[in-house]
Structure 1
Amino acid sequence: MEKRTLVEPYEVILWVAIISVLYLINLSNHLLFHILVHILVELFRVYVAYISLIEVKEQNS
């Protein structure tokens, strides 16, 4: 099985793009920005849990 790095380059690009879009939204609508930030935080928590699960499975294999 191929060794996976902790974070792939496309994942970094995706997160930078999401943060950039949130910043642009913040410039025009603060309420929508806060709602989207909460959604982003939840998505990030799921992402970190997924990465952690993959690491644990690889260690047990």
Structure 2
Amino acid sequence: MSIREHLTELERRHASLEKEISGSVHHPSMDELEVANLKRQKLKLKDEISRLRVSG
């Protein structure tokens, strides 16, 4: 997998997490701990995307 393909996949996963987090605001059954975990995952993806953009 090329760096560009990897970056595209990371961006897709980041967007997916963003949608899931946004949807959880309107979904009362979502646990705050789960939302925090999703936000943490999203931040990790953002950091990796930034790192790849700088090095790529």
**What residue is the counterpart of 1:53 in the other structure?**
48
Could you tell me the TM-score, scaled by structure 2's length?
0.56
| Structure-2 separation of matches of 1:12 and 1:38 | 16
Which ranges in structure 2 are unaligned for 5 or more consecutive residues?
9-13
Question: Which of the pair has more CA radius of gyration?
Answer: 1
* Structure 1 segments (4+ residues) deviating >6 Å: none
Which ranges in structure 1 are unaligned for 5 or more consecutive residues?
26-32
How far 1:56 moved relative to its partner? 0.7
| Structure-2 separation of matches of 1:11 and 1:39 | 12
The alignment of Structure 1 onto Structure 2 pairs a total of residues equal to: 46
| Structure-2 separation of matches of 1:43 and 1:12 | 9
